Amino acid sequence: MGRREGDGKIWLLAGATATGLGVLLCLIGWLAIAGLGAFWPLSVTEMQLRNGSALLGEIVFEDSGVIALRTSEIDRIGVAYRRVPRIDIVSQSQPADAITVVLDDGRRLFGRESTTSAARVFALASRPALEREVQHVNALDRLARMRLFFGNVGRFLATPPTASNLDGGVLPALIDTVVLVLLMSMIVMPLGIATAIHLHEQRSRSTRFVRSAITTLAGIPSIVYGVLGLGLFVHGVGGSIDQWFYADRLPVPTFATGGLLWASLTLALLTVPVVVVSVEEGLARIPAGLRDGSLALGATREETLWRLLLPAARPALLTGLVLAIARAAGAVAPMMLVGVVKLAPTLPIDGDFPFLHPSRQFMHLGFGIYDAALASSDAIRGVPRAYACAALLVAVVVALNLSAILLRHRLRERYRALEY
């Protein structure tokens, strides 16, 4: 009877795990489909209306009563949408000679080569902005549309955004996100490992108090860390650095403003409880006989720690790194206070000495999701862009985590013999 109950619990846990994985995969798939859908080339539609006028553009939304059409954006991006009731449409077609002119600032102009509208479109394209690309989407077959689709995806990954942040790519945000996470990891891992070693080696009231404090810090909202980083790092440490080393530039701040360094330190404080708990648990799982045997052979406590215990606990160290990356990559609220901006095309890493510029403001994929979804002046463009940024952020986090997980697996196999 007891065995049947145990089997039922195992199957229940397996079902819950499979359900969770299924929901996660569905979420990732939905983000990928919604994000990649923004890069598929839309056909150009011509509508003849009851009042005798004609509209030419891309259908961006439709339901049973209304069709939303993006027409030529002559003045600026996002102001040429028309809501057309279906009862006002006499006919609707996709002419093969339709052209789409995509400008450098993201605007789209539409015309037909067989009419005078094409000359007007090219005249408008040459006046306010440089022409970037002329597309004949309606005349393309599926293979050509796939090539155009992959070209749009490549442009999204490999180019900087436009001034409106509604078009162009996310290359600066992608690089800044990876650099921020790596710099945060370089700061938090030594700090977390040192704290975990102290808590593991020392048994006293003070260590119990520190352990309780770390547990409490793990539950503090991330925005509180942003306020702490703003007051302590930006205005405190950064203001002092400016007074000591950059007094000739004041009142223009150098370090007393948000930047990559302060954001990395803030995220390190945010994630250090996760690293401490993971490393301490890894040290506690090492058999006590290994330590006793090392000491009995004449090794000092320091040598035992650095030559035996920490190498054996490397899988736990990498587990802490994985958890820290997962939490830091999505912590947008604190970064909005300590350095992230909407548009910063200058990268913190370049070819000029000292190559890494920690005082520069930066972009972030997480903030790009917020900006595109909630602060965009063109929701029809912004929401799909937010999905694309979300899918890319998930891919970055998964790639970083998989690298750490694979390394952890190799180390775990290497030191598995120490458990026996």
Q: Is residue 309 part of a domain?
A: yes
Lowest mean pLDDT among 128-132, 198-202, 206-210: 128-132
Among residues 363, 192, 392, 191, the alpha carbon closest in space to that of 263 is found at: 363
Copy the structure tokens of residue 218: 């793990």
**pLDDT value of position 80:** 85
Looking only at Cα atoms, what is the longest distance across the chain? 97
Do 107 and 219 fall within a single domain?
Answer: no
Do 290 and 322 fall within a single domain?
Answer: yes
Q: Name the helix (H) or strand (E) containing 60.
A: strand 54-62
Q: Which of 150, 185, 219 is the last residue of a domain?
A: 150
Do 126 and 181 fall within a single domain?
Answer: no
Copy the structure tokens of residue 303: 């040598």
Residues 6+ apart with CB under 8 A from 202: none
Do 67 and 189 fall within a single domain?
Answer: no
- DSSP for 124-164 reads HHHTTS-EEEEE-GGG--HHHHHHHHHHHHHHHHHS-B-TT
**pLDDT value of position 1:** 47
Lowest mean pLDDT among 277-291, 328-342, 402-416: 402-416
pLDDT one-digit tens code per residue, 37-68 = 888 888 899 899 988 888 888 998 888 889 99
Q: Which residue has the higher pLDDT, 414 or 52?
A: 52
Which of 90-104, 161-175, 248-262 tops mean pLDDT? 90-104
Q: Are 70 and 81 in contact (CB under 8 A)?
A: yes
Q: Is residue 36 part of a domain?
A: no
Q: Is residue 205 part of a domain?
A: yes
**pLDDT value of position 420:** 47
Q: Is residue 402 part of a domain?
A: yes
Q: Is residue 156 part of a domain?
A: no
Three-state SS across 288-356? HHHHHHHHHCCCCHHHHHHHHHHHHCHHHHHHHHHHHHHHHHCCHHHHHHHCECCCCCCCCECCCCCCE
Q: Is residue 155 part of a domain?
A: no
Do 312 and 200 fall within a single domain?
Answer: yes
Do 175 and 315 fall within a single domain?
Answer: yes
Do 178 and 112 fall within a single domain?
Answer: no
Do 96 and 216 fall within a single domain?
Answer: no
Q: What is the CATH number of the domain that holds 320?
A: 1.10.3720.10
The mean pLDDT of 20-43, rounded to a whole number, is 86
Residue-averaged pLDDT of the chain = 82
Could you list the residue range(s) of the whole structural domain that residue 415 is in?
171-419
Q: Which of 150, 182, 206 is the last residue of a domain?
A: 150
**pLDDT value of position 266:** 92
Q: Name the helix (H) or strand (E) containing 29.
A: helix 2-36
Do 274 and 308 fall within a single domain?
Answer: yes
Q: Is residue 411 part of a domain?
A: yes
The mean pLDDT of 67-77, rounded to a whole number, is 85
Sign of torsion, CA 203 208 214 219?
positive
Amino acid of residue 276: V
Do 90 and 189 fall within a single domain?
Answer: no
Using pLDDT thresholds of 50, 70 and 90, give the confidence band for residue 146.
Answer: very high
**pLDDT value of position 134:** 81
The mean pLDDT of 197-222, rounded to a whole number, is 81
Residue 49 bridge partners (DSSP): 89
Look at residue 129 and tell me whether its pLDDT is greater than 60. no
Copy the structure tokens of residue 137: 């989407």
**pLDDT value of position 415:** 59
Lowest mean pLDDT among 25-39, 225-239, 349-363, 400-414: 400-414
pLDDT one-digit tens code per residue, 244-254 = 888 888 887 87
Copy the structure tokens of residue 336: 């909005």
Give me the torsion for CA of 318, 319, 324, 325, rounded to 10°.
Answer: 70
Residues 6+ apart with CB under 8 A from 125: 101, 103, 109, 131
On the question of a cis peptide bond just before residue 334, with omega within 30 degrees of 0, the verdict is no
**pLDDT value of position 20:** 84
Amino acid of residue 94: Q
Q: Is residue 249 part of a domain?
A: yes
Lowest mean pLDDT among 35-44, 136-145, 191-200, 350-359: 350-359
Q: Which of 97, 117, 150 is the last residue of a domain?
A: 150
Lowest mean pLDDT among 68-72, 202-206, 320-324: 202-206
Q: Model pTM? A: 0.83
Among residues 121, 31, 34, the alpha carbon closest in space to that of 72 is found at: 121
Do 144 and 226 fall within a single domain?
Answer: no
The span from the CA of 145 to the CA of 151, in Å, is: 10
Do 108 and 196 fall within a single domain?
Answer: no
| Domain count of the fold of the chain | 2
